[in-house]
Amino acid sequence: MNYARALDRITRITAVLAIAGVLTALAWKGPRVAAGFLVGSLISLVNLRWWTSLANALGSSAKPPLRGSAALLALRYVAAAAVIYVIVKFLEIALAAVLAGLFVSVAAVVIEILYELVSSE
């Protein structure tokens, strides 16, 4: 398994699932739900990138360790919660749609795992 190729596939799968989810939500429930799913998907993609950079920093001895990464790890969830609160409270976007969008990268990782299981020899 090539780590870089798997990560690229996960990112592409995340983008495809986000686009498909937004289009489905738009056709089925309207623009507010689609916007919520889009915001959740974007937060999910950013979170995937953060975890990737943290894993790369921990796994590579060539790079210096990230300074304050533990604080950033905690603060990003506080920031994401604040963004979700503002979106749901003030923009009146459906919380369920935002939460569903947050699981897009998780679904992409599961799809990648299944792909690796099927394609490995």
- Does the reported pTM lie above 0.75? yes
Identify the H or E element spanning 116: helix 104-119
Q: Each residue of 11-32: pLDDT tens digit? A: 999 999 999 999 999 999 999 9
Q: Each residue of 42-95: pLDDT tens digit? A: 999 988 988 888 777 777 655 555 555 667 777 878 888 888 888 888 878 888
> What is residue 109's predicted lDDT score, i.e. its pLDDT?
94
Taking residues 94-107, report their average pLDDT: 92
Q: Where are the domains of the chain?
A: 3-119
Helix axes 69-90, 95-102, angle to 10 degrees: 150
Query: Which of 33-42, 67-76, 93-102 is predicted least confidently?
Result: 67-76
Split at pLDDT 50, 70, 90, the class of 34 is very high
Residue for token pair 């780590």:
3
